[in-house]
Amino acid sequence: MRCLAIALFLLNSAFCIAQKAEFSVDKAVFSFPKTKEGPVISHDYIITNTGTIPLIISDYKVSCPCTKAVLPEPIPPGQSAVLHVTFETKGKYYEQDRAILLSTNTKKGTEKVRFKVFVIPQDE
């Protein structure tokens, strides 16, 4: 009986290991057009789960509070969802290159999207 229990445990573990969420994004680096300082700009990244279990994006990290993200609900296998990102241009000048690090349940555990924008100062 013990051998049967161990065999079932190992089989179940192997099945679970084979299942994974996979992260795919329509455009990992988005470039905004030149923007005058002041407005909040935004972009929607289309995230697709190409894996076999729901993709969960549980948190994000950015280098500046000027960048915010609205995380999607868990994404079922084969489905897509929107990751909405905003950037506050006030007080930001010239070339901006920002990365959003996403905590996920993929094999890597962390995925990344980026955006770039050239911000023209108000007084120019």
Per-residue pLDDT of the chain (124 residues; tens, 9 = 90+): 554 445 444 445 444 556 788 887 888 899 999 999 999 999 999 999 998 999 889 999 999 899 999 999 999 999 999 999 999 999 999 999 999 999 989 898 899 999 999 999 988 6
2-38 in b/e form (b: 16+ CB < 10 A) is eeeeeeeeeeeeeeeeeeebbbebeeeebebeebebe
- Percent of the chain scoring above 90 in pLDDT: 65
Structural tokens at position 120? 């023209």
